């Protein structure tokens, strides 16, 4: 979708409304592997977070983190 000012990639899962930030490796030749590794772990981490946090009105929130509105 985009990248951060630091050069990290931002991937967006449109149907699940999730964003994934992937740190850019030092060598662009390793970029493909970095993206593959991030996507491979994405499903596992998402499932763990859904089990850890309870949904509120179909939103999974972390009550320990202060809410920031833009």
Q: Over range 56-67, report the average pLDDT.
A: 68
User: Does residue 18 lie in a domain region?
Assistant: yes
User: Does residue 70 lie in a domain region?
Assistant: no
User: Does residue 29 lie in a domain region?
Assistant: yes
Tens of pLDDT, residue by residue over 40-52, are: 888 888 888 777 7
pLDDT above 60 (res 70): no
- Supply the DSSP symbol for 27: S
Number of domains present in the structure of the chain: 1
Surface-to-core class of residue 48, CB atoms within 10 Å of its CB (0-12 exposed, 13-18 middle, 19+ buried): exposed
pLDDT above 80 (res 5): yes
Q: Give strand ranges (E) for the chain.
A: 2-3, 9-13, 18-22, 55-56, 59-60
């Amino acid at each position: 979708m985009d990248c951060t000012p630091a050069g990290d990639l931002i991937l967006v899962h449109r149907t699940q409304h999730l964003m994934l930030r992937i740190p850019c490796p030092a060598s662009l030749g390793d970029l493909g592997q970095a993206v593959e590794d991030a996507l491979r772990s994405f499903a596992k981490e998402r499932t763990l977070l859904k089990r850890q946090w309870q949904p509120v009105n179909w939103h999974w929130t972390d009550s320990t983190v202060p809410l920031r509105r833009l």
